[in-house]
Amino acid sequence: KQEVTQIPAALSVPEGENLVLNCSFTDSAIYNLQWFRQDPGKGLTSLLLIQSSQREQTSGRLNASLDKSSGRSTLYIAASQPGDSATYLCAVSNNDMRFGAGTRLTVKP
Amino acid sequence: NAGVTQTPKFQVLKTGQSMTLQCAQDMNHEYMSWYRQDPGMGLRLIHYSVGAGITDQGEVPNGYNVSRSTTEDFPLRLLSAAPSQTSVYFCASRGLTGGPNSNQPQHFGDGTRLSIL
């Protein structure tokens, strides 16, 4: 059974800092990995999707990497802003999608 | 572009009542799924479907039924509501793994907040 773990569970940083969120999974037989953002009381917004054959994806200040053999992914956020405050979830897909519990990020002005 | 539409947004039920949560998508996605989200536990898969007429169980299927009569719609039925089913429910859709839409991200609805008294 696929298990997805995200560390840390919560993170608080001052504005402008670069930061890394971690995601690990137990079964490397995945098709893709996706990072989502969730604001309080809202649904999930897709940030980046990495296919199993890819090593990383970038969108603006966000960079996600994937090391399938070691079962790890990282989400790098550059020059963090208060608007980045949210919960970040990673999810791995094969025939279904399994989620981590998320990292709650607070960026202080 | 409507994407994934869930109704209702909020619902309060009494223990033992039944209800159906509606989900519709307009992206012609083969794969649809239902999740529940509880504090500190992330999202857990309830049921999923890889196409019309095909459904399967996820991690936490007990107490829920689904059907998929069309590509667009995937309703979730609570047969006899219990307080343990108080949660936020999300519907999602995407193209099938390996299919023509498989490089597209999964799309989520805005959620249904359900309270069982």
CA distance B42 to chain A (A): 4
Chain A contact set for B92 (CB, 8 A)? 44, 97
Cα separation, B70 vs A35, in Å, equals: 29
User: Which residues is B77 bridged to in the sheet?
Assistant: B20, B65
Query: Rg (Cα) of chain B, in Å, rounded?
Result: 14
Q: Do A95 and B50 touch (CB under 8 A)?
A: yes
User: Looking up tokens 């202080």, which residue turns up?
Assistant: A108
Nearest to A100 among B35, B42, B106 (CB): B42
Which chain A residue is nearest to residue B41, measuring alpha carbons? A101
pLDDT at B2: 72
pLDDT at B97: 66
Q: Do A96 and B92 touch (CB under 8 A)?
A: no
What does DSSP say about strands B19-25 and B43-51: parallel, antiparallel, or unpaired? unpaired
Q: Do B97 and A94 touch (CB under 8 A)?
A: yes
Cα separation, A7 vs A74, in Å, equals: 10
Nearest to A101 among B42, B50, B90 (CB): B42
Pick from B61, B70, B62, B74: which is nearest to B32 by CA? B74
Structure confidence by residue, pLDDT tens digits, A36-82: 999 988 889 999 999 999 999 999 999 999 999 999 999 999 999 99
- Structure token pair of residue B65: 């039924």
pLDDT at A18: 97
pLDDT at B99: 66
Structure confidence by residue, pLDDT tens digits, A80-98: 999 999 999 999 987 678 8
- Structure token pair of residue A72: 């790890």
Helix residue ranges per DSSP H, A1-109: none
